[in-house]
Structure 1
Amino acid sequence: MRIDIISVVPKLMESFFAHSILKRAKNKGLAEIHLHDLRMYATGKNRQVDDYAFGGGAGMVLQIEPIARCIRALQSERTYDEIIYLTPDGERLAQRTVNQLSLKTNLLLLCGHYKGVDQRVRDLFVTKEISIGDYVLSGGELAAAVLTDAIVRLVPGVLNDETSALTDSFQDNLLAPPVYTRPAVFEENAVPEVLLSGHEAKIEQWRLDQSLALTKLKRPDLL
């Protein structure tokens, strides 16, 4: 899998992709993540990428020209399965979307900034719009990092135990059950006996019951 990310401030994401699971994915050759500085596709002495909105109003807008140059340059090298714009008014990110995107080969992510991008970018290039929640960030970089992490961890071979991702919250519209590790007793608080029984069927039933109870309590909308 290859993920290209277009940003006004790509350095914001460099540290995020240099550690943990994403670093492991890159080192194993299972995922490539490339950051592209939008200003490199701007013209003029100051490499300006934003301008005032037509019609007035507060805030600046990312111009279409540098974005179009960047996208077309990348498209000349490969075909993208999706060109995704990270925006507060996009489709709210859900696990089913992450699952679908994890099956793709080439993804291009565009980070919004300021008041967003010229609408013509969305009309001409973007194939999917995603929001990570009903709130506004200073830019789409954090959202792009979140989306990339959620996708790449599902690529086969990235996690040491591939079945781990299948038991995460939301994979079956349920929240994950409680988990415990050693010691078995901490200050008179003991691990549920069923988890120490070694009885696989009973353990799985306990986990399902716990998932159902937690989902009903915390996220009944999922049911």
Structure 2
Amino acid sequence: MRIDIITVLPDMFEPVLQASILGRAISGGAVDVAVHDLREWTADRHRTTDDYPFGGGPGMVMKPEPVHQALDAMVDLDPQPPFVVVMSPQGRPLDQALVRELAAHPRLVIVCGRYEGFDDRILSRADLEISIGDYVLTGGELPALVLVDSVARLQPGVLGCTESAADESFSDGLLEYPQYTRPAEFEGMRVPDVLLSGDHARIAAWRRRESVRRTAERRPDLIARAHLSPEEAEFARSIVEGSETHERD
């Protein structure tokens, strides 16, 4: 997979792109990430990428010409047509289902905003606008890094364990079950006995139930979209309504 990032702050990306799993994925060739300085496509000596908004108002707006020219250059860089993403608080919320959709594209181009936003004519080049949450940041660089990390980890060979991407929060619409490691007892808190039993069927059933429980307790909004059996749906409903009284193993 190839990812091109267009930004006015390219230096923000290098430390993250070189670190940990993402850094190893890039250095190992599982993902090809290139960061491009939008100012390379400006025409004036001040390398201007923004201007005052027509109609007045606070702040500055990103100019259309540099972004359009940068996107033209992205097309010329690789014969594979890119899927163009603009990071915007007005975009589609990023969730794991969307991450999987994007991870299937062989090539992404991510455009990072700054200032008060984009000249709306820039959005005509976008295949999709994406938001990472209902809050405002100073620019699209941090959201772009979130997107790159979430998409890259789904590429073959990026994660050390092939099951890791499938067996985690949001992979099936639910939050992940509780996890434990050694020691079996710490400050009076014991690991559930079922996890020490060696009975893989019981462990799988416990994990599934705890995943449903945790989602119902912490993110009841996800329950309606999760794929649950009738028994699991009733269990989740009892938790949401406060009537669930079963003890945990």
Provide the TM-score with structure 2 as the length reference. 0.88
Could you say which structure has the larger radius of gyration? 2
Alpha-carbon distance in 1 for matches of 2:26, 2:133: 27
1:114-153 superposed matches below 5 A: 114-123=115-124, 125-153=125-153
Separation (CA, whole Å) in 1 of partners of 2:29 and 2:8? 27
- Give the match for residue 54 of structure 1: 54
User: 1:171 maps to which residue?
Assistant: 171
In structure 1, the residue corresponding to 2:77 is in which secondary structure?
coil
1:73 aligns with 2:73: yes
Query: The residue matched to 1:162 in structure 2 has which SS?
Result: coil
Q: What do the CA deviations read for 1:107-139 (whole angstroms, capped 9, x no partner)? A: 00000110111100102x100010000001000
Do the aligned partners of 1:80 and 1:108 also contact (CA within 8 Å) in 2?
no
Higher relative contact order (Cα pairs below 8 Å, separated by 6+ residues): 1
Runs of 5+ consecutive residues of structure 2 not aligned to the other structure: 224-249
CA distance in 2, matches of 1:24, 1:204: 31
| Displacement after TM superposition at 1:81 (Å) | 3.9
Which runs of 5 or more residues in structure 1 are unaligned?
none
**Distance of 2:17 and 2:76 partners within structure 1:** 25
Cα deviation code 1:29-77 (max 9, x no counterpart): 1101100000111111111111000111001011011111111011122
SS in 1 for 2:13: helix
Q: How many percent identity over aligned positions?
A: 45
Match of 2:54, as an amino acid?
F
Equivalent pairs, count: 222
Question: RMSD in angstroms over aligned alpha carbons?
Answer: 0.8
Decide whether the 8 Å contact of 1:6 with 1:111 is kept in 2.
Answer: yes
Give, as a single letter, the amino acid of the residue that structure 2 aligns with 1:32. Answer: D
Q: TM-score, normalised by structure 1?
A: 0.98
1:134-183 deviation per Cα after TM superposition (whole angstroms, max 9, x unaligned): 00100000000000000000101100001111011111110001100011
Rounded Cα–Cα distance in structure 1 between residues aligned with 2:73 and 2:166: 37
> 2: CA distance between counterparts of 1:200 and 1:27?
37
1:11-26 paired onto structure 2 within 5 Å: 11-26=11-26
